[in-house]
Every structure is written in C-alpha cells, then in structure tokens.
Structure 1
C-alpha cells in the first residue's frame, strides 16, 4: 500500500434482490475513484453471502463470481483494536488485510438496512454512509413514514399490513385498503428498494395480485395512495450539516419508475434540473434535509417526492444508499449542482472518516 494514499475497500454485491444494481454502482465508483488519492481493494459478496477478495465488478457482471474453491474467500476480523480482513484458507493479503475505510455499495437488505452497518460498528471501522439507525429507518418504509409523520412532513395516505394478516384474512385486507386508500394504489414490500416487488393496482383483482407479489419479498407490506404529479428527487450530502442538490424529475416510460427503467436507461428519462418554480425548489431542498435528519442519515441520501400541478409537495421516501451507476439520479443531481462524480466520491469518503472520528470522541463507559 502507498503510505501517501488512503486504502479504501469497495464492498459490493450482496444477498438482496438489488445485487445486480450493486455491481453496476460499484463498477462506476471503481472506474471514477481518484487513484492518486486512494489505493482501492475490492471485495465482492455473492448471492449466498460469501465474501471474495480482489474480484472486480466488471468481471463479475460478465462472468459471475468465482467458485468457492477458486476465489480468495475472506472474512472481517471483529477486533476493535485491530480490525482487518483475513482469508479463510490462511493466504496472506496485501497490507495484512488492513484498510482505512470501507465504501459499501450494497443496496437493499443485508447492505442498506443496518445489518452490515452493525457489523462494521462492532469491528470499529470507518465506512461511508449512514449508521445502524439511519440505515434501518431508511430501509423500512413503514417506520420511515412514522418518523416523517412525527416531524410533520407531508405524506400520502398509506396502510401497513403484515404478511400473516394478508394470508389469514385476504378479504379483510382488501376491504381495509379499499376503504382507506382506494384505487389506483401502490403496493410495496416495506424493506426493499429499486422498485423491486412494487406494483400499481387499479382494481381489486390487481390489488390481490400485488399483495401476493409484495408478500414474496417481505413480511410487511405498505400500500400507498397514488399522487398525480411530477416525480421529483433531491440528493442530500453531509453529516451534521447536510446540503441538498438541485431537484430532478423522473419521466417514467411506464406508469411508475420500474426497476428496469432505473438501470437499463430504456424508455424513462431524467430531467435535471426539474422544471419547477424557485419557491418549490427551495421547499423541496429544505424538506429533503429535514427528512435526512429525521431518520438520522449520514453521508448520502436521495429523497423522493411528488409535486402536484397545484405545487403541493408530498414526501415519498429516503434512500440512504441510492444507486450510484452512471445513469443514477444521485450523482447526476450533484453533477448538475456543481460536484463532479469523482469529487463526490472524495466527499463521501471524507464524511465517513469524519463520522468515525466523531464516534471515537464518545465514551461508552465511565472507566
């Protein structure tokens, strides 16, 4: 390792349904990160949850992960006094597996939901992004909305159901949704992102199918009313003093911004900056920062809104580890606001180190 460079571990892949999104995000970061400032090591996590040292996202996209007996499988040593990676078979790693910071690019469960963050906290290592609380609140759409309501942020009407409720009494659930939400409505797994498992229901039969689909992915299902208006997204960057980007508008080719539209760049398009009045832009930026702080996010977050033709704003959700591909809204908004992609990576690394140092200043016992 070059003593003048920070050693960054790029962590990607994972067990979630957003595995492929993670590979694409990591590939973009790996290509753009400043090699004059950072030495970059890579660790890819396959869909079984096994960690492999030195695999490159571009190669995995093309050829898949190595077989278990062919790759260099590693694990994180949970020693707060000497955190490092070690190989399962005892082979040596560069710099004894030590590093300065982990840059997680893991979207969805087991990466964005606080579980990975808890592991990294136990090991006492610096990392990019939100901590356990911010990540878990940002992932769970039901609990996220509860926190937003506490802060008096404007939300569309919604209903939350447990999968067990739906399986035990589907007709009661359908009746409840029709009474409180009506049609059309959106049905979502509470703990997934990138539009995975999301459906739009226009009538009872579609609603039943949508609930069945969402129940495949999560034990908790959120049903939201449809807001007619512009789909607006704002990027947020920072820790205790976050800043907000210019807003962008999603112009979906279909009825909503599907998984395929987000990552294939087919049909749907992004309008940056969004065509909005100045007062609306300022309100969106202010509300995005409020939402970021409400869930106690850190580092980065993308906050999604609806703006009606009457300029009424509805907060939809926050993503604490948004897509970071070349066509993703988060970096494109910052580029339009004046922070290029490579500089954005620099800032996120600095914010991760800042947050780590802030935690080191806290005592955890009297002795």
Structure 2
C-alpha cells in the first residue's frame, strides 16, 4: 500500500508542535544561576539533586555544587516568589512569608519552582522560630516535610542545617548531631567543615568539652584555601576559646579570642556576635563581670541583627547587671528579651 501524503492540517499541527517545543526551550534558557562567587550563569537548569545542579547553555554544560550557589531565578517564577526569595535571603523573613504564603503551588509551571517556594517558606518560618518569634517544632516539621518531598533539591543540605539549628535551640542535642552530621556528606568542602563546626558547638552546648575540642581542633589544623573555609576556621577558634574557658583555661581562651577581636571585620555580623559572646563567656569564667558585660553589650548594641547571639547576650546581661549593682539595667534587658524573643529558651 502506498503511503498517503500528509494533509495540510497534519503539517500545520506538526509545525505548531515544533514551535511550542522551541518556545519552551527558549524559555528554559532564561534561568539565572547566581554562584557565591563570580557572575550569573544564564541557561537551562536541566538537572537538580542534593549534590548540586546542571546548567545547559546550547551544547555546553556547567555543573555547580550545592553549597556554591547563592540563588536561582527560574523562568516562570511568579513575582511573589521573586520578592519572597529576596526577602528571605536578606533576612526579612516576615516580609518573605507575606509574599510566599500567597502562592498557589498547583499553579506553578515547574517542579523546581514549587520546591524553591516550599524551601523559602520553611526557611523563613524556621528563622523566625529561631529568633523566638515562632513555634520551633512546627518549623522543624515544615523543613523536614520539604526535605522528604524534595530529596532532589539543591537545598537539601541547607534544610538539614536548619533542622539541626532548631534541634540545638530546643536542647535536643541527639537530633542536632544527626542533622549536622548529615552535612559531612555534602559535596562542597565548606559545608563539610560546617558539619564539624556545628558538631563541636553542639557538644559545647551539652558541656561535653572534650568532644567539642576534638571537633574544633579538626578545623584548626586545616590548611584552608577559600574565604568560606577560613571564616569557619575563625568561628572554630571562637568555639575553642569558649571551651577553654569552660575547662578552667580562661587565660588561654582569652589569648585566642583577643586575636579574633583584633582581626575580625565588623561587617561580618555573625562572626562579630559570636566572638563577642565568646569573649563575654571567658571574662565571666575569669570572674571579670564588668569585662563580660562590656563584651555582651557589644553584641547587644552593635550586632543585634544576629538574633540567636543577641538573645544569648541579652539573657547574660539579665544575669550580670545585678552583680554590678544595676538591677534596672537587668530589668530593661529582660523586657527587651521578652519583647523581641518571646520564645527564647523554649
């Protein structure tokens, strides 16, 4: 039997299908990936998993590791996600949730966009909870729900870190160690170092000083070759200094922390807040109450945007001001602690 030629209708349908495929391909080429360093990469995010992403640009393929990506703007993002994502990355989490909570997930055109929406919602909910302005258990459940649903997301290890933070804040050191330990399987070296650092901080919170020192020492002996790794090494020094103070070696701890105070940049708010809180703990261990108050005041007055460290500094000021005959200052610190971090310690 001889083949019949395509009808004009069939040809038109095939041409339309081809145009639609080509149009979809053009749209996919408009994803923008922003690494932690360097310029944005424009292309099609062709694959994502816990290890990272694959970006295709014509015949070229670029692989980026999770932990080396700041953000991705996907073709098809609703404006509420674009705004909410930026608010979340900027630490404006209440504003982020106002945008993100209004997004209908079923209306989103791509799974990666749904995953990004759910991650930033859970992330902002968690950051508010960690600051004492939300339910920590509910936030942990939301982030675990995201991780379970989107195991192929490049946010997977970020999610593990946040759940570890919430567990540590709740005093659940067993779960904190489990989730921080998961970071050791991340592909980016700074994230692996972060796993060791937070494991040490968890042991420190549990007053297991020997275990904490073991973890901090693993970082201190490293030959670091990146800004991120060097920063974690400095944070480990602050942790080690606090551990020394808790093991009756306050003078050694003070020597270590003094070098960090001299070299740190005040623009790194997290670093500064943790260093000054460590300095406060060391002075307190030495019996220098005025020195401890001054250190915690640095965190309170200059680095209050680092909510977890700020809450700790305020709680310490509540304890220390009466010891120098200033109960009114203690009352002021207590009022601010209750107002800004109503869930602190719970």
Shared fold (TM-score, shorter chain, > 0.5): no
Normalised by the length of structure 1, the TM-score is 0.26
**Whose Rg is larger?**
2
Normalised by the length of structure 2, the TM-score is 0.27
Between structures 1 and 2, the one with greater strand share: 1
Identify the structure with bigger relative contact order (alpha carbons < 8 Å, sequence gap 6+): 1
